[in-house]
Chains A and B, each alone.
Chain A
Amino acid sequence: MAETSHKEETFRVGETELRVIKGGQGKPLLVFHGELGFPGWLQWLDVLARKRTIWIPLHPGFGKTPMASWIMNMRDLGAFYARFIREQKLAPVDVIGFSLGGWLAAEMAIANSAQFSKMVLVGATGLRPPSGEIMDMFTRTARGYLNASVIDSRNNPEFAKLFGGEQTPEQFEAWEDARAETARIAWAPYMYTQSMPELLANVAGLPTLILWGKQDPVVPLSAGELYHQKIAGSKLVTFDNCGHMPEVEKPADFIKAIESFLG
């Protein structure tokens, strides 16, 4: 299957030149990448890009978009994107957030759920898990963290395509940028907002799909269940034999769930 063409564009948000990967056609779909940056154009993006214009902004400080030193927590980052959505007249827009990107989407929905039309959270951080804990990426190398994120890092072609082979200096630098920016935002409390359980009541009414690997070693399923419980009307879909990256580990099931939700 040929990759859908996609390209990088630049949008000005305040003082920041935001780099956005855009591809496909149709109604916009906003994708928030996770704590190690945008890993690359994957199969699920190809499928969705047939009907949707994919917007993948590269978070400030994660390498391509310059760091904005005033962004020190998730609320700051959410406010930055709220401005972006407003200025690009994207609202209400469908959004998918992965891991830290899911936390970002949830935080924005709390502030103003009307900026989204539908929300998908995939293995989202942002909540303190009622049982277990969020794996500490900062006591591992980037690669060590990735390898530990999925059930089987050795026998997965998509995973190998993204992260296999020798680490290049460019990859090392990109990961270090991503880790540094994540630290600025999420160092303590680690990867969650303490008031999130109370504030999620604000999200009620926004159609929300929560996707989770049943064996997610990074964010335990208990956090997904709590999201489900706190967001009235949300739907929780879990994948068996799956870790933190259902889009890589269970692409077919993942695509099916998203397509049926987004329509």
Chain B
Amino acid sequence: MHIMWFTERAYHYLPEEEVLKRRSFFGVPNTFFDAQKGSQLLNQYLDEKIYSDELGFDGVMLNEHHGTPFCMGAVMDVEAAVLARATKRVRIVLLGNPIPTVANPLRLAEELAMIDMISGGRLVPGWVRGAGSEQLANNANPAYNREYFDEAHDLILAAWTRPGPFRWESKHFHFRFVNPWVLPLQKPHPPIWIPGLISPETVKWCAAHKYPYVALATMLKPTLEMWDLYTAEAAVHGYQAGPENFGYLQPIFVHETEEKADELGKNFLFGGGFANFARPEWMFPPGYNSKEATRRLASLYANPNLPGKTLVPQHLHSMNDIAAIKKAVYDNYESSKESLQIITGTPKSVIPKLRKVLEVLRPGIFSFWLDGPSPREDRLTCLKLLGTEVLPAVREIGKELGLADPFQIAPGSRPLAASGRPERVGSPEALAAI
């Protein structure tokens, strides 16, 4: 089992009201950004990642968002570069680079090749289409998002594996002299993992490419459904999916006492929490979604799979409204814990909860997720307890449950049963028992 640690690198020093009144992190004017404080925080997050390496985590996971205080990793490859040198053993897992927005995918291929070289071959790149707002922040035409994604993916892989110089002329990307003189250390190319928020298109695409699919803290039931979809698609491509094909990101808050852990977890809901506020005009720019997805969305705006529900009135008139929203956000905390969307507690109390999640999903890749504007010392305590007490336990559980990771079993290498019928990877029975 491959166990990672993740945090968005949020800029916490902004008035929560600024987020609540806009019903969005994206779009808060950057006049609220203080570079001194941001700088100190960004380095603190790097310290945490370096500490994770020392604690024995298998991977440190990064992501990227533009133009939002929710994540200062606007170009996460900068952080990946720092970690390539400042850490010794961990995999640097990028989930993922928003390839439709970079405009020059060849430069990205070079960037990642250098990071793989500097890290001694510890890079795990991943790709995303980018949230809707990333398209706006980078002015990347969302109507061509999927096409950019496919072409950029193919170009990057070609740049890494096809001898140069060669010519690349696709619908959107045109290069007539591809011959990079930096190439990844890992051959034929670094392992690729793909994060997702329950988009069936992405799940099928992953299965076709034999790329592990990492579900980002989505509800257990629909996550399992995606596993089944992946597994069925894998069978079409002639292989049996296993734990090595799946990953899961889990918000978790650990401290020395239940109370303190609970307090920490509550911070996760700062500003409405992760993607709670999804202004449709920013989440769903024109043409970003497939027809199918648009139909799914037609009746609801926010993502129902994420912690928190659509609880935001369309119009805000006063500070009373903001107070009401805030109350609704934080009232939702208890139910999120019950459904294990958020896990809090002491090492002793969280391990059985984690076991449940692992029994249900049986993922080969697992990441802890800590976020929210908690004091530095509390974050470090959480990280330390995770590393020293929870991590070894989870590793044991992984071994016991046979949760092979992609470094133990190459994803896609498992043969199908003679019947040709795939076996389910997760366990709905275990879910029913929760």
Q: Do chains A and B touch in the complex (CB under 8 A)?
A: yes
Q: Which residue numbers of A lie inside 8 Å of B, CB to CB?
A: 128, 133, 136, 138-139, 188-190, 194
Chain B, range 170-195, C-beta contacts under 8 Å to A:
171, 174, 176-177
Chain B residues whose CB sits within 8 angstroms of the CB of A139 once the complex forms: 176-177
The answer on a CB contact under 8 Å between A190 and B169 is yes
The answer on a CB contact under 8 Å between A138 and B176 is yes
Chain A residues whose CB sits within 8 angstroms of the CB of B174 once the complex forms: 188-190
Could you list 16 A-B pairs, sorted by A, with CB under 8 Å? A128-B169, A133-B167, A133-B169, A136-B167, A136-B176, A136-B177, A138-B176, A139-B176, A139-B177, A188-B174, A189-B169, A189-B174, A190-B169, A190-B174, A190-B176, A194-B171
Q: Which residue numbers of B lie inside 8 Å of A, CB to CB?
A: 167, 169, 171, 174, 176-177
In the complex, A190 Cα to B176 Cα: how many Å?
9
In the complex, A222 Cα to B167 Cα: how many Å?
19
Name the distance in Å between A107's Cβ and chain B's nearest Cβ. Answer: 19
Q: List 6 A-B pairs, minimum CB-CB distance, nearest first.
A: A188-B174, A136-B176, A189-B174, A139-B177, A190-B176, A190-B174
Name the distance in Å between A218's Cβ and chain B's nearest Cβ. Answer: 14
Name the distance in Å between B162's Cβ and chain A's nearest Cβ. Answer: 16
Chain A residues whose CB sits within 8 angstroms of the CB of B177 once the complex forms: 136, 139
Write the chain A residue with the least CB distance to B175: A188
Q: Is the interface of B mostly helix, strand, loop or mixed?
A: strand
Name the distance in Å between B44's Cβ and chain A's nearest Cβ. Answer: 43
Chain A residues whose CB sits within 8 angstroms of the CB of B167 once the complex forms: 133, 136
Name the distance in Å between A30's Cβ and chain B's nearest Cβ. Answer: 31
Name the distance in Å between B203's Cβ and chain A's nearest Cβ. Answer: 31
Write the chain A residue with the least CB distance to B176: A136
Write the chain B residue with the least CB distance to A187: B174
Name the distance in Å between A186's Cβ and chain B's nearest Cβ. Answer: 11
In the complex, A133 Cα to B175 Cα: how many Å?
13
Chain B residues whose CB sits within 8 angstroms of the CB of A189 once the complex forms: 169, 174
In the complex, A128 Cα to B171 Cα: how many Å?
11
Name the distance in Å between A228's Cβ and chain B's nearest Cβ. Answer: 23
In the complex, A189 Cα to B176 Cα: how many Å?
10
Write the chain B residue with the least CB distance to A128: B169
Chain A residues whose CB sits within 8 angstroms of the CB of B171 once the complex forms: 194
Given contacts A136-B167, A138-B176, A194-B171, 13 further A-B contacts (CB under 8 A): A128-B169, A133-B167, A133-B169, A136-B176, A136-B177, A139-B176, A139-B177, A188-B174, A189-B169, A189-B174, A190-B169, A190-B174, A190-B176
Most buried by A among B167, B171, B176, B177: B176
Write the chain B residue with the least CB distance to A136: B176
In the complex, A189 Cα to B168 Cα: how many Å?
11
Name the distance in Å between A143's Cβ and chain B's nearest Cβ. Answer: 19
Chain A residues whose CB sits within 8 angstroms of the CB of B176 once the complex forms: 136, 138-139, 190
Name the distance in Å between A85's Cβ and chain B's nearest Cβ. Answer: 31
Write the chain B residue with the least CB distance to A194: B171
Name the distance in Å between A125's Cβ and chain B's nearest Cβ. Answer: 13
In the complex, A138 Cα to B177 Cα: how many Å?
10
